[in-house]
Amino acid sequence: MREWEKNIRRVVPYTPGEQPKNKNVIKLNTNENPYPPSPKVLACRERIDDLNLYPDPAISDLVNALATYHGVDPSNVFVGVGSDDVLAMCFLTFFNGDLPIVFPDITYSFYDVWAELYRIQYRTIALDDDFKMLPEDYQVPNGGVVFPNPNAPTGVLMGLDDVRKIIEANRDVIVIVDEAYIDFGGESALPLIDEYDNLIVVRTFSKSRSLAGLRIGYCMANEELIKALNDVKYSFNSYTLSRPAILMGKASVEDDTYFKETCKKVIATREYFENELKRLGFTFPESKTNFVFVSHNKVSAKVIFDKAKENGIILRYFEKPRIDNYLRITIGTDEEMKKLVDFLESIL
Ligand code: PMP
């Protein structure tokens, strides 16, 4: 081994879902929104200018718009390049204790990757057989807590009372609630940031705001935590959001009517699809997200996944303990879901 090889930081990276070049497929594998962003966002394309100049490092226009929207102070808002960036910054900033951080055994598969990258010790806590997080399991000594609510890839929502129990039991560490999918029927923990100075609520524009391609995420917490995050951000990369992202992100926040209509459409399609799944004999936990986590006792998930792919329908399959007979299916348009239902009917 050459001497420098010992000094390479070796990590097993996160594997993102496939982004096929072929546009003619039905793409239900990465929980994107099937609808375009608000027309007001698209209209911003005419106003993109000053690209020779750096963007505002404080991202003030978007921070202020988000603060107004959520009824918090701008000092409570931190914006990053997708919630992946925000979460990674949170891990780097807040998870520096001696005890392992904790998160569910079945959850967003980036958490262990960041923990490994930053050399943070971690321990996973098993979901119960119904894929539920039990708050009492989180009453253990730890160096921090992170979980999505609703959880991914299960789609299961935890009630606010249980979220509160977890925060209450962990007042000495930072608790991060990753609300990537909260707009599809969940109750947010945001009102709790006034009560708990150790709580961070993370959101994204990638799902409910149809802006996965623009890369915007944010979190809200008390001023001291946001200041700590900004200090780390400015020690890493000052200009995180581009000018177009700031402009379009603000336009998205300001078009609440479009946002709410789009969420409603996705929820209605999810309800239609869940009924069809039941009719076809699939089992799945109730979803409060823009995806459903399904299993069938007659045909294996892997077989369905492969056959769907041959038929131009891309789903998400995780070859992992406890979930290797499940498929995560993103809610597309009504038309896409009808085609998927026809396909499922044909192979069962
Ligand atoms: N959290 C969860 C639970 C997710 O599923 C995702 C999407 N992969 C993210 C965070 C990151 O989303 P983004 O970086 O697009 O905001």
217 pLDDT more than 90: yes
- Report d(CA 170, CA 140) in Å as an integer: 8
Of 231, 254, 277, at which residue does a domain stop? 254
Residues 282, 240 share a domain: no
Q: Kindly indicate the confidence band of residue 116, based on its pLDDT and cuts at 50, 70 and 90.
A: very high
Residues 294, 175 share a domain: no
Of 189, 221, 254, at which residue does a domain stop? 254
Task: List the domain range (segments joined by +) for residue 141.
Answer: 52-254
CA 180 to centroid of ligand 1, rounded, Å: 6
Q: Which residue has the tokens 């038929």?
A: 311
Number of domains in the chain: 2
Residues 241, 313 share a domain: no
- The secondary structure of 309-342 as a DSSP string is HHTTEE-EE---TTTTT-EEEE---HHHHHHHHH
Query: Model pTM greater than 0.85?
Result: yes
CA 339 to centroid of ligand 1, rounded, Å: 26
Residues 266, 248 share a domain: no
pLDDT average, residue stretch 17-21: 91
CA 181 to centroid of ligand 1, rounded, Å: 9
Mutate which of 32, 107, 146, 178 to test ligand 1's pocket (most atoms within 8 Å of Cβ)? Answer: 178
CA 40 to centroid of ligand 1, rounded, Å: 24
- What length is written for the chain? 348
Helix axes 243-254, 60-70, angle to 10 degrees: 20
Of 205, 228, 254, at which residue does a domain stop? 254
Residue 79 phi/psi, 5-degree rounding, is -115, 140
In this structure, is residue 196 part of a structural domain? yes
Residues 185, 59 share a domain: yes
Residues 303, 247 share a domain: no
Residues 160, 262 share a domain: no
In this structure, is residue 1 part of a structural domain? no
In this structure, is residue 42 part of a structural domain? no
3-state secondary structure of 101: strand
1 pLDDT more than 90: no
Q: Which residue, by CA, sits nearest to atom 6 of ligand 1? A: 180
CATH number, position 316: 3.90.1150.10
The radius of gyration computed from the CA coordinates of the chain, to the nearest angstrom, equals 20
Pairing of β 291-296 and β 327-330: antiparallel
212 pLDDT more than 90: yes
Longest dimension (CA), the chain: 61
118 pLDDT more than 90: yes
